Amino acid sequence: MSATFDRRRIPAPEHSTPPIYEPLPSSSENEAGPSRRTDRGPLESRPIFLKTGLISQANGSGYIESGGVKIACSVYGPRPKPPPYSPQGSLNLEVKFAPFASDPRRAPLRDTEPLPLSALLTQSLLPTIHLHLYPKSSIDIYLVVLESDALSNVLSAGLTVASAAVADAGIDMYGLGVGGVLMDKSSVDGGVGVGVEEDGLLLDPSKDEETRAKGMIVVGSMPALGKVTNLFLTGEVDVDQAVDMIDKAISASKETHTILAQALVEGAEERGIGPVPAA
Amino acid sequence: MAATASMSSSVQPEASTSSGATSAAAAATVFQRLHPSQYLSRFLAQGYRPDGRKVRSWREVSVNVGSISTAHGSSLVRMGDTTMVCGIKAEIAEPSASTPNEGFVVPNIDLPALSSSRFKPGPPGDEAQTYSNWLNDLVVSSRTLPLSSLIIAPGKAAWVIYIDVVCINYDGNAFDAAVLAVMTALKNARLPRATYDDDSGRTICSRTERFPLQLGRIPLSCSYGIFESTHLLPDPTSFETRLLPTTLTIALDESDHACLIRQEGLGGVLGASGERVIGEAWGMAEERAKELRELLED
């Protein structure tokens, strides 16, 4: 314990636990029954709010609210990189959670989740950027998660907001990367979905839904080019269904792509850069 | 000389793309980068600051409360371009043996690499550590959150209030914005009613009953910089901060009593006694704190 004593922050008591709530009255649990989405269709995603250019200090920035996720992202660069010489630009991406961003609280230093998340996001974003145009430079992308629900949603919203910020910074890209999440709940709920949701697939799952998922897939894609940049599948899904899930996630990503493109145009107009005249 | 040439050539593409008006703006940018302090002093000579406000005025402030659902209380403050988010999280811990009747308050300010190119990723830097300490002094010494009010069962269980401030956009004067964010978030916070069960030794929280925190004095901070020992500049931006060797911070509570006064750097205003400078700053702080307090009430 004392080995990891943190002198750079105001010390907290060595041990503290998040509040434990009294159990729910058992009757209400029964009444609720197996939960099903009531607010939207199974293949409908939650509304997305996306805005670019809010962080004035950065070369490019974006802010996204998607379901229970709020992420701010800023891009610094391309900025000169110290030697050794590199023929390609390098991409550094760091995800950070605000301590209050999730339940329970994420204590700084004890939080191990951001690292793999940063690696995954880097992989999703890497194919979208023309790094060969930026020799001897680095592009630094920082994401701060202010509120989060499901981790898959953080990943997909993170990719969307990061490519918005990169585009806002005026960095050349092949296409805009967009994230999509799809989960399969078919057998876990004991066939609840039968009738209403024929194949038991859910787009953009909430945290409750994610915990009951049988399998889940996060797809990073460039809808404008029809290309997939990264796939992240967890759980147990057979091949045919996985392909079906990818297809559905990609077609859902097209809608997000429209929102992203719209946000970029609005951001450019606010900055006083008019629409590009048709050649 | 060589530096000048490379600097202006790097700005050149922007200038060459458009007409006279924008190239004049580009020339101003070059001047600002090469001779920042002359740039600032020319503005001040005209009675204005580079961001368009009068020399003795403050930036506009807006507050948005309760937008983060994962926190017990939260607030977003924008002071000009400076943006701060504060989230309050409450956890339960055993009170320390020396103070069995007190809970804990743990305030921290984070200035992540996201917020400005001057910060590096990794553990908190000097500036963030300094501000965290100031905030701790302010909250603890002014008894904003009386520790005795956080007790659930003496010696057994008490609340730990984690106050975390994250800077999203750093355009100077982070401390004032952080203090306002903390105070609005504390006002916004609602904790579940907790009871300690002697038999099981556990603390159980109610799902329905919530209560606000008992707040004592609510200090608000006002910061200044002194430029070239001549100008007292309230609410400095990120660009100005670098040119201000002396900074002054005054925090006042609702009855205009001081909770914290900090001066950093040697120097004052030429031809004015320290007493007069402090008095002037204090007077301006009283007015500013009154304005900010209105935001706190809504």
Q: Cβ contact (<8 Å) for A147 and B238?
A: no
Domain total for chain A?
Answer: 1
pLDDT confidence tier of residue B185, bands split at 50, 70 and 90: very high
With DSSP H G I counted as helix, E B as strand and the rest as coil, what are the percentages for chain A, rounded to 5?
Answer: 30, 25, 45
Residue A101 lies in a domain: yes
pLDDT score, position A193: 33
Query: What pLDDT digit, counting tens, does each position of B99-142 carry?
Result: 999 999 999 999 999 999 999 998 899 999 999 999 999 998 88
Q: Characterise B160 by phi-psi region: left (phi > 0), alpha (psi -120 to 50), beta (else).
A: beta
Instruction: Nearest chain A residue to B196 by CA: give it.
Output: A20
Sort out which chain B residues have CB atoms less than 8 A from A68's CB and list them: 69-70
Query: What pLDDT digit, counting tens, does each position of B210-262 carry?
Result: 999 999 999 999 999 999 888 899 999 999 999 999 999 999 999 999 999 99
CA–CA min distance B76, chain A (Å): 11
Q: Cβ contact (<8 Å) for A22 and B169?
A: no
CA–CA min distance A222, chain B (Å): 25
Q: Residue B113: which of A10, A17, A142 has the nearest Cβ?
A: A142
Q: What is the mean pLDDT of residues A44-58?
A: 92
Query: What pLDDT digit, counting tens, does each position of B270-292 carry?
Result: 888 888 888 999 999 999 999 99
Residue A197 lies in a domain: yes
Q: What is the DSSP letter of A47?
A: P
CA–CA min distance B124, chain A (Å): 6
pLDDT score, position A51: 94
Q: Residue B203: which of A13, A20, A101 has the nearest Cβ?
A: A20
How far apart CA B95 and CA A35 sit, in angstroms, is 40
Q: Are strands A90-97 and A137-147 parallel, antiparallel or unpaired?
A: parallel
Q: Cβ contact (<8 Å) for B162 and A147?
A: no
Is A147 part of the contact surface with chain B (CB cutoff 8 Å)?
yes
Question: Radius of gyration (Cα) for chain B, nearest Å?
Answer: 23
Across A7-11, A116-120, B163-167, B214-218, least confident range: A7-11
CA proximity to B84, closest of A108, A51, A49, A55: A55
Q: What is the mean pLDDT of residues A90-116?
A: 89
**Is the predicted pLDDT of residue B13 greater than 60, yes or no?**
no
Instruction: Nearest chain A residue to B81 by CA: give it.
Output: A56
Instruction: List, in sequence order, every residue forming a beta bridge with B110; answer none if it has no partner.
Output: B166
Residue A26 lies in a domain: no
Is B66 part of the contact surface with chain A (CB cutoff 8 Å)?
no
CA dihedral B122, A180, A271, B14 (to 10 degrees): 70
Query: What pLDDT digit, counting tens, does each position of B53-77 carry?
Result: 999 999 999 999 999 999 999 999 9
Q: Is A206 exposed, middle or buried (0-12, 13-18, 19+ CB in 10 A)?
A: middle
Is A244 part of the contact surface with chain B (CB cutoff 8 Å)?
no
Residues 60-79 of A with CB under 8 A from B: 68, 70, 72-74, 76, 79
| DSSP H stretches of helix in B215-273 | 238-241
Is B69 part of the contact surface with chain A (CB cutoff 8 Å)?
yes
Query: What pLDDT digit, counting tens, does each position of A207-231 carry?
Result: 888 887 888 899 999 999 999 999 9
Helix and strand totals (H; E) in chain A: 5, 9
Sort out which chain A residues have CB atoms less than 8 A from B206's CB and list them: 21-22
CATH code assigned at A83: 3.30.230.70
Higher pLDDT, A23 or A100: A100
Residue A8: strand, helix, or coil: coil
Q: 């996204």: which residue's tokens? A: A64
**Is the predicted pLDDT of residue A197 greater than 90, yes or no?**
no
Residue A21 lies in a domain: no
Q: Are A89 and A137 in contact (CB under 8 A)?
A: yes
Q: Are A211 and A117 in contact (CB under 8 A)?
A: no
Residue A165 lies in a domain: yes
**Is the predicted pLDDT of residue A111 greater than 90, yes or no?**
no
Residue A31 lies in a domain: no
Whether the predicted interface score ipTM is above 0.85: yes
CA proximity to B249, closest of B183, B178, B171, B144: B178
Q: Cβ contact (<8 Å) for B114 and A142?
A: yes
pLDDT score, position B286: 95
Residue A22 lies in a domain: no
List Cβ neighbours of B205 (8 Å cut-off, separation of 6 or more). Answer: A19, A20, A21, A22, B192, B193, B194, B195
Instruction: List, in sequence order, every residue forming a beta bridge with B250; answer none if it has no partner.
Output: B222, B261
Residues 128-157 of B with CB under 8 A from A: 128-129, 132-133, 136
| Residue ranges of domains in chain B, CATH in brackets | 61-212 (3.30.230.70), 220-297 (no CATH)
Sort out which chain A residues have CB atoms less than 8 A from B68's CB and list them: 70, 100-101, 146-147
Q: Cβ contact (<8 Å) for B68 and A146?
A: yes
Query: What pLDDT digit, counting tens, does each position of B140-183 carry?
Result: 888 899 999 999 999 999 999 999 999 999 999 999 999 999 99
Show the tokens assigned to B234: 């309230």
Show the tokens assigned to B116: 């400005």
pLDDT confidence tier of residue A195, bands split at 50, 70 and 90: very low
Sort out which chain B residues have CB atoms less than 8 A from A19's CB and list them: 90-92, 192, 194, 203, 205
Residue A226 lies in a domain: yes
Instruction: Nearest chain A residue to B129 by CA: give it.
Output: A8
E strand residue ranges, chain A: 48-52, 60-66, 69-80, 90-97, 137-147, 178-184, 201-203, 215-222, 227-235
How far apart CA A167 and CA A175 sit, in angstroms, is 9
The crossing angle, in degrees rounded to 10, of helices B274-297 and B174-188 is: 30
CA angle B224, B230, B233 (to 5 degrees): 25
Q: Are B32 and B39 in contact (CB under 8 A)?
A: yes
Alpha carbons within 13 angstroms on the beta-carbon side of residue A15 total: 4
**Is the predicted pLDDT of residue B18 greater than 60, yes or no?**
no
pLDDT score, position A36: 65
CA–CA min distance B257, chain A (Å): 26
How far apart CA B30 and CA B27 sit, in angstroms, is 5
Average pLDDT, chain A: 85
Across A23-32, A124-133, B24-33, B51-60, least confident range: A23-32
Q: Are A57 and B116 in contact (CB under 8 A)?
A: yes
pLDDT score, position B97: 92
Q: 């409750």: which residue's tokens? A: A208
Is B238 part of the contact surface with chain A (CB cutoff 8 Å)?
yes
pLDDT over 70, % of chain A: 87
Give the domain range for residue A192. 43-269
Higher pLDDT, B30 or A40: B30
pLDDT score, position A83: 87
Across A148-152, B182-186, B208-212, least confident range: A148-152
Q: Are A219 and A249 in contact (CB under 8 A)?
A: yes
Q: Characterise A40 by phi-psi region: left (phi > 0), alpha (psi -120 to 50), beta (else).
A: beta
pLDDT confidence tier of residue A44, bands split at 50, 70 and 90: confident
Q: Cβ contact (<8 Å) for A9 and B132?
A: yes
**Is the predicted pLDDT of residue A236 greater than 80, yes or no?**
yes
